[in-house]
Amino acid sequence: MAEERMLITGGQRLEGTVRVSGGKNTAVAVISASILSRTPCVIENLPNIEDVNVSVETLEHLGAKVSWDPKAGVMEVDASTICRTDVPLELCRRMRASSYYIGALLARCGQAQVPLPGGCDIGRRPIDQHIKGMRSLGAVVETQRGVVNARADKLVGGDVFMDMVTVGGTINVMLAASQAEGITTIYNAAKEPHIVDLANFLNSMGCRVKGAGTDVIRIRGVNTLACRRPYAVIPDQIETGTLMIAAAATHGDVTICGCIPTHMEALTAKLLEMGARVDERDDAIRVRSIGAHRAVTFKTQVYPGFPTDLQQPMSALLCTATGTSTVVENIFESRFRHLAEMERMGARVRIYEQTAVIEGVPQLHAAAVEATDLRAGAALVIAGLMAQGTTEIYNTHFIDRGYEHLEDKLNSLGAKIWRTRE
């Protein structure tokens, strides 16, 4: 059978209301934290995506009992039966967030053996800051033949100064510190919404985390963590942004409900600058657009700056803006590979190291293109929605890692997207 492709007939205006799913990056963190609980955990609003399936396989490998209802988005985890402290390479290669099991297993079992993580190929992704943080809590951490071996008879809270703002590093140290003796302080911590969500989840289990959402987080470890009530993860910031960009790209009128508009300020500001109209309600955003968009300049930054995960979909939109846009990617060094694919669709792009200069063209045209990572896939979907003709996207598995039923959601708004293996 031929490889699966996603086909998109462009030029359809998106119109209507769509509900956003639970957050991918918060889901993988909260699921890993569930192994800290001595009582069964119920986690709600989880997206039905491949990274959640890999998380389930990881928990089951460790010996936890998991019941996962992808339709309802509800998972129950009973981690009282955990009997292993290693994560197989096969699972680590499929998900970046496998590294969270270093911190979580250290806290829960006093040891972890986890191969260096995989995930999307968007540049170097070392975990030296994660390891440094765990050493500050008294763990002995060595990497041998690509496997991180961590152990600690006892973790003791300490000061952790992050050399750069790292989402994963902050999460991993929070997990390790949750049962350490005394107080851990993380300086230069990441402020992303999923850091706050993880802190809320840990606190709901009895941990005492303060300062999440600022750059100094204090964690007072406790002996026993226990889930007492179901916990619902926050909506997906990046899916919300992708849908907002899709609405603008098709000159549509779309209301995205179930989202948190304050998480979207950086994108909202840029869409307004481009000439789209954005209206916010408590838990919904309406994006409308008529006429041509203006070119803009933006730089990716840590939260609350413009998220690197939306750089790729946003740069697709800029391919047809009037004028020349400049995009600076400050977080990952190879996150412009989608632009080379879009050149096949008529985009005019020049790349100078971390800067992409995009000269807007009046119209993209359909082509066969390849997703090189998750958000590159989303960017190509946006480009396909704008293009004349039927675009074919290869490597659809990247899209499924992080978007729940993306084509169903877009089709419900009027898009023409389907998959084929013919």
Indicate which residues carry an active-site annotation: 120
Contacts of ligand EPU in 253-312 (CB under 6 A)? 307-309
- The reply to whether 374 sits near ligand EPU by the rule CB under 6 A is yes
Piece of the chain touching ligand EPU by CB under 6 A; list 117-125, 134-142, 277-285, 288-296? 117-125
**Does residue 201 sit in helix, strand or coil?**
helix
In the complex with ligand EPU, the residue whose CB is nearer, 47 or 360, is 47
Residues 347-365: b if buried by 16+ CB within 10 A, e if exposed:
bebeeeebebebebeeebe
Question: Tokens 């939260």 identify what position?
Answer: 303
For residue 179, give both structure tokens. Answer: 């049962």
Least Å distance, CB 164 to ligand EPU, is: 5
Binding letters toward ligand EPU, positions 148-177, x by CB under 6 A? ----------------x-xxxx--------
- Helices 24-33 and 50-62 pack at an angle, to 10 degrees, of 10
313: contact with ligand EPU by CB under 6 A: no
How many residues bind to ligand EPU according to rule CB under 6 A?
A: 27
Closest contact distance (angstroms) between CB of 99 and ligand EPU is 8
Q: How many CA atoms lie within 13 A of 164 on its CB side?
A: 11
Work out whether 25 is an interface residue with ligand EPU (CB under 6 A): yes
Nearer to ligand EPU, 95 or 276 (CB): 95
Report CA-CA distances (Å) from 313 to 196, 206, 242, 338: 25, 39, 6, 9
103-111, 120-128, 137-145, 404-412 -> range binding ligand EPU (CB under 6 A):
120-128
Cis status of the peptide bond prior to 362, with omega within 30 of 0 = no
Q: Is 104 in the site for ligand EPU (CB under 6 A)?
A: no
130 binds ligand EPU (CB under 6 A): yes
**Amino acid at position 35, single letter:** I
Cβ nearer to ligand EPU, comparing 168 with 221 = 168
Give just the sign of the alpha carbon dihedral 98, 152, 198, 71: positive
Contact status: 325 vs ligand EPU (CB under 6 A): no
For residues 163-201, one letter each, b for 16 or more C-beta atoms within 10 angstroms of the residue's C-beta and e for the rest, the string is: eebbbbbbbbbbbbbbbbeebbbbebbbbbbbbbbbbbb
> Interface with ligand EPU by CB under 6 A: which residues?
24-25, 28, 96-97, 120, 124-130, 164, 166-169, 238, 307-309, 331-332, 374-375, 402
